[in-house]
Amino acid sequence: MVQLSFKAVVATIVAAVALVDAADVMNAAGHQHRLVRRCGGKKNSTITHHHPASQGGNNGHHHGGNNGHHNGGNNGHHNGQQQGSIITAYITDWAIPSSIAWNKLDHINYAFAVPGKDGTLSQFTASQLQSVVKEAHANQKTVSLSVGGWTGSLHFSDLVLTPSSRASFAKNIVQAVNDYNLDGIDIDWEYPNSANGVACNSNNKADTANFLAFMQLLRQQLGPNKILSTAVGVQPFDDESQNPSTSLAAGWAQTVDYFNMMVYDLAGSWNPVSGANSPLAADKDDSMSVTSAVQAWSSAGIPKSKLVVGVPFYGYLAKVNQPITAATGEHVKFDTSVPQIQGDQYDTKSADPCPGATATFSGEFQYRSIVQQGVNTNSSSWTNYWDAHTSTPYAYNSKDQTFLTYDNPASLTAKAKYVAQQKLGGIMLWSLEMDDANSSLLNAIQGARH
């Protein structure tokens, strides 16, 4: 069974425990939503400065010698079950889904544990994580704790800087794996030696090399049976000059099981013109896409079987300064005379955790809201179109003069098909609670299996 591609599940079967419905908690703590937003990140300083990733969203994943546990695609810890691909769902501490369709996914990344300056992990609800792990194991599925996130990456650079800081940080992570009976760890550093992260992140020219040394240490300490993944942007980790690496050290592929590529947040009102949040292929204005990310990471030396395509269960809403029609296509100028408007009811103002940062909306519009409001069925002044270049839908609201880029079952079916055709490592989604009541998006990505 493809679902059993992780051998690490050894938990005793226990009665499934209903998860706490924390949807209301999320509303109450709405600002945290964006505090931990993750971002695909675009290597363009023009865009970076206006990147709202500071706002909202999601962003939600190697060398060092031959550790012996990964020998060229025959990963000992996967027990020869490397064929097939996985479906990984991020769930968030602040918006745990009321139920999880375990038969439709393989693995959960629980977001986030945030590392403090001293490397201790906090900002997650221990009892809730325990419930998720228990329920996952009862369903023979696996769970990683995801460490970091958009606003949780302040200290990574310092924490991996020296052998002694790495040892002390690794100790905390190994402790968490033991304490919570985890199957793996997902490091979500946004981003090593990058100008695209939160402005007050610690940073160092040697971040990428230090990060690898840290992952190698983690692998050594966790052993070959734990799943080690990292959430990454659409371009390979930056080199010492802050350019995307064209070739990564061999240790990355030897040490890390999955690179969860965050192929979203690639267009929004931080750009001058509207475009697709998560293009399957680039069009003339969208240079980054699923296909470009696969190409870039794979030519930098990461095997396709370790590349996991991240897809969004949300879109972005913004005001535009001219009507959008089938004839204009999805690229028109944003209305920059107004601040970023609120997306759906879950979108709340938040600021980066840096001095002087301004709180703003992100414009995030979750798929469940799209369905609930009838956006996708052309009700309430909405008209939907399909962009054939990027294989994504977009919608225009003639009353509010707003533009929405999003993913729907059709666009996710296309992405899943690409994952299967290319024999990639699988598909990752951010984040599970944003799906509609029928799990329409989760259903649409089942075709990623191969």
Ligand X SMILES: *[C@@H]1O[C@H](CO)[C@@H](O)[C@H](O)[C@H]1NC(C)=O
> 278-288 burial, b for 16+ CB within 10 Å, e for fewer?
bbbbbbebbeb
Strand 426-430 with 307-312, pairing: parallel
Among positions 27, 44, 123, 298, the unique one binding ligand X when judged by CB under 6 A: 44
384 counts as binding ligand X under rule CB under 6 A: yes
Which residues, 6+ apart, have CB-to-CB distance to 239 below 8 Å?
A: 193, 208, 245
377 counts as binding ligand X under rule CB under 6 A: yes
Using the minimum distance from each CB to ligand X, give the nearer residue, 122 or 321: 321
Among positions 212, 213, 371, 427, the unique one binding ligand X when judged by CB under 6 A: 371
Using the minimum distance from each CB to ligand X, give the nearer residue, 168 or 384: 384
Give the total residue count for the chain: 450
- Both tokens of 256, joined, read 């890390």
Using the minimum distance from each CB to ligand X, give the nearer residue, 95 or 424: 95
Using the minimum distance from each CB to ligand X, give the nearer residue, 183 or 436: 436
Q: Which range binds ligand X by CB under 6 A, 8-16, 174-182, 291-299, 377-385? A: 377-385
- Both tokens of 105, joined, read 């996914």
Taking the complex as a whole, how short is the minimal distance between the CB of residue 388 and ligand X, in angstroms?
A: 13
Which residues, 6+ apart, have CB-to-CB distance to 417 below 8 Å?
A: 447, 448
Among positions 162, 345, 378, 380, the unique one binding ligand X when judged by CB under 6 A: 378
Using the minimum distance from each CB to ligand X, give the nearer residue, 131 or 384: 384
Using the minimum distance from each CB to ligand X, give the nearer residue, 156 or 382: 382
Taking the complex as a whole, how short is the minimal distance between the CB of residue 383 and ligand X, in angstroms?
A: 5
Would you call 275 exposed, middle or buried from its count of C-beta atoms within 10 A (0-12, 13-18, 19+)?
A: buried
Residue 113 parent element (H or E): strand 107-115
232 counts as binding ligand X under rule CB under 6 A: no
Site string for ligand X, 47-86 (x = CB under 6 A): x---------------------------------------
Evaluate whether 236 touches 244 at the Cβ level (below 8 Å): yes
Nearest to 295 by CA among 205, 159, 424, 113: 424
Rounded Cα gap, residues 260 and 241, in angstroms: 24
247 counts as binding ligand X under rule CB under 6 A: no
Which residues between 271 and 310 bind ligand X (CB under 6 A)?
Answer: 271-272
Among positions 13, 15, 327, 437, the unique one binding ligand X when judged by CB under 6 A: 437
Three-state DSSP state, 434: helix
Site for ligand X (CB under 6 A): how many residues?
14
1 counts as binding ligand X under rule CB under 6 A: no
99 counts as binding ligand X under rule CB under 6 A: no
Taking the complex as a whole, how short is the minimal distance between the CB of residue 411 and ligand X, in angstroms?
A: 14
Among positions 46, 74, 98, 247, the unique one binding ligand X when judged by CB under 6 A: 46
Taking the complex as a whole, how short is the minimal distance between the CB of residue 289 and ligand X, in angstroms?
A: 14
Which sign, positive or negative, has the C-alpha torsion 131, 136, 138, 139?
positive
Taking the complex as a whole, how short is the minimal distance between the CB of residue 386 and ligand X, in angstroms?
A: 8
Nearest to 315 by CA among 382, 387, 366, 274: 366
DSSP assignment of 229-293 equals EEEE-SS--B-TTSSB-SS--HHHHHH-SEEEEE----SSTTSSB---SS-SS--TT----HHHH
Taking the complex as a whole, how short is the minimal distance between the CB of residue 413 and ligand X, in angstroms?
A: 16
Q: What number of other Cβ atoms are within 10 A of residue 178's Cβ?
A: 10
Site string for ligand X, 211-230 (x = CB under 6 A): --------------------
Among positions 11, 237, 436, 441, the unique one binding ligand X when judged by CB under 6 A: 436
Q: How far is CA 113 from CA 89, 189, 313, in A?
A: 16, 12, 22
Among positions 162, 246, 421, 438, the unique one binding ligand X when judged by CB under 6 A: 438
Q: What number of other Cβ atoms are within 10 A of residue 267's Cβ?
A: 26
383 counts as binding ligand X under rule CB under 6 A: yes
Taking the complex as a whole, how short is the minimal distance between the CB of residue 281 and ligand X, in angstroms?
A: 17
Taking the complex as a whole, how short is the minimal distance between the CB of residue 12 and ligand X, in angstroms?
A: 35
Which residues between 254 and 273 bind ligand X (CB under 6 A)?
Answer: 271-272
Residues that bind ligand X (CB under 6 A): 44, 46-47, 271-272, 371, 377-378, 383-384, 436-438, 440
